[in-house]
Amino acid sequence: MPTPQQLIYLSTELTDSVKSINAIVAKQELPYDEETRELSTSAARLAVLANAIGQAGLSALAHEIREAMGELNSQVKSAKERSRKSMT
Amino acid sequence: MRHHTGPVDPESKEFRDTQAVTQAALEALNGYMKVLSELSAKDVANVSSDVSTMDPDLSTLTVTNPKVRSGLEASSALASILLDAAVRNDLKKLIVKAAEPVGQITTYLVDQAQITRNVCIQTVAANHEYWAGLTTQNPANREFCSQHTICKPLYALAKRALVTENNDLNAKAVAAEAAAKAFQKIHDDNAALVNNVDHLDAKALTEILTNDEPYLISAIRDLEAL
């Protein structure tokens, strides 16, 4: 089972490929010829796939991060209290 | 952004949840940074007023003797710095205890910015496909366009709309990539701070004083010898 981080790396790798294809398609004039249209369709399919993988990874990370946020807020609260006591 | 053709649905529950978590993560990180800067900014002057409570005997000493006075001043300065070290100890505690959650949160924010960059690029691809489909010519279109000059300016206008939208998306992708790098730097800085946190303790400060401020130590010894 891939980790959320691995999913995000994979999504970025796929998106970099989409970016390369975008650069080629962007140079063509409308209406696109058959070859360019197929290329744009392939890029869009790859983009949807990359997006699904990336969003899955990010959602998993978002789920994991809640505990870390709670812990950080608690540490910040303790530090504020210690600081207030040291000043009084 | 063409939501009906783009690969992301901003109305989806997952998307909204992720955005909410990102906002909360940014707020938690900002809160941490604020307290860190408040603790770091406490200078000697803020705590030097407490010096008199450190050693009541010091404050009752006559200060007419220059040697005593210099010693008193030196010890006051040293006590102030050591008090400041107590504040630094708070700083150290915060940095050490918050190291892991801060690392996790900054990692998440890097990834969130990276995904935002990815989404912008993915949407450019969706736009290309959308306009490719919209401008696809069937045989009747081809025949019509070969007989009239109206098609060429229409395609030029379509291309202009596509380029404008994609330029905006590409600019957002670059901005998101810059944000990812900025969060990565915060992540790396935090890791470096945690690795060097031992330099913040009172012992290290005393060593620095011994090496860099020897007059303070000798003045204290003079005072003790009286």
Q: How far is B56 from chain A (nearest CA, A)?
A: 18
Q: B102: Cβ–Cβ under 8 A, 6 or more apart, which residues?
A: A72, B29, B32, B190
Q: B8: Cβ–Cβ under 8 A, 6 or more apart, which residues?
A: A51, A55, B15, B119, B122, B123
Query: What average pLDDT does the structure give for chain B?
Result: 73
Q: Can you tell me the mean pLDDT for B184-207?
A: 70
Q: Can you tell me the mean pLDDT for B129-147?
A: 89
Domain positions in chain A:
4-87
Interatomic CA distance for residues B205 and A60, integer angstroms: 43
The reply to whether ipTM tops 0.85 is yes
Instruction: Give this prediction's pTM.
Output: 0.76
Return the SS3 of B57: helix
Q: Which of B115, B159, B163 sits opposite A8 (nearest CB)?
A: B115
**pLDDT at residue B103 in the model:** 93
pLDDT in tens, A3-14: 999 999 999 999
A30 in B contact zone (CB under 8 Å): yes
Subunit contact B25:A48, Cβ cutoff 8 A: no
Is pLDDT above 80 for B14?
A: no
**pLDDT at residue B210 in the model:** 57
B213 in A contact zone (CB under 8 Å): no
Q: Which of A43, A46, A55 sits opposite B14 (nearest CB)?
A: A55
Among B79-88, B145-154, B159-168, the least confident range: B79-88
**Residues in chain A, pLDDT under 50:** none
Interface test with B, best of A75, A78, A88 (most B CBs within 10 A): A75
A69 in B contact zone (CB under 8 Å): yes
Interatomic CA distance for residues B226 and B218, integer angstroms: 13
Task: Report the 10 Å Cβ neighbour count for A26.
Answer: 17
Q: Can you tell me the mean pLDDT for B72-90?
A: 61
Kindly state the DSSP code that residue B31 receives in the 8-state scheme: H
Range 2-21 of B in CB contact (< 8 A) with A: 7-8, 14-15, 17-18, 21
Residues of chain A contacting residue B38, judged by C-beta atoms under 8 Å apart: 83
Residues of chain B contacting residue A72, judged by C-beta atoms under 8 Å apart: 28-29, 31-32, 98, 101-102, 105
For residue B56, whether the previous peptide bond is cis, meaning omega lies within 30 degrees of 0, is no
Here the tokens at position B143 are 């025949």
Interatomic CA distance for residues B205 and B162, integer angstroms: 62
Which of A21-35, B33-47, B173-187, B197-211 is the most confident on average? A21-35
**pLDDT at residue B78 in the model:** 59
**pLDDT at residue B223 in the model:** 46
Q: What is the DSSP string of A12-72?
A: HHHHHHHHHHHHHHHTSPSSPPHHHHHHHHHHHHHHHHHHHHHHHHHHHHHHHHHHHHHHH
Q: Confidence band (pLDDT; 50, 70, 90) for B7?
A: low
B214 in A contact zone (CB under 8 Å): no
A10 versus B77: which is more confidently predicted?
A10
Return the SS3 of B116: helix
pLDDT in tens, B158-183: 999 999 999 999 999 998 888 888 88
pLDDT in tens, B104-131: 999 999 999 999 999 999 999 999 999 9
Q: Which of B165-189 are b and which e, b meaning 16 or more Cβ less than 10 Å from the residue's Cβ?
A: bbeebbebbeebbebbeebbebbee
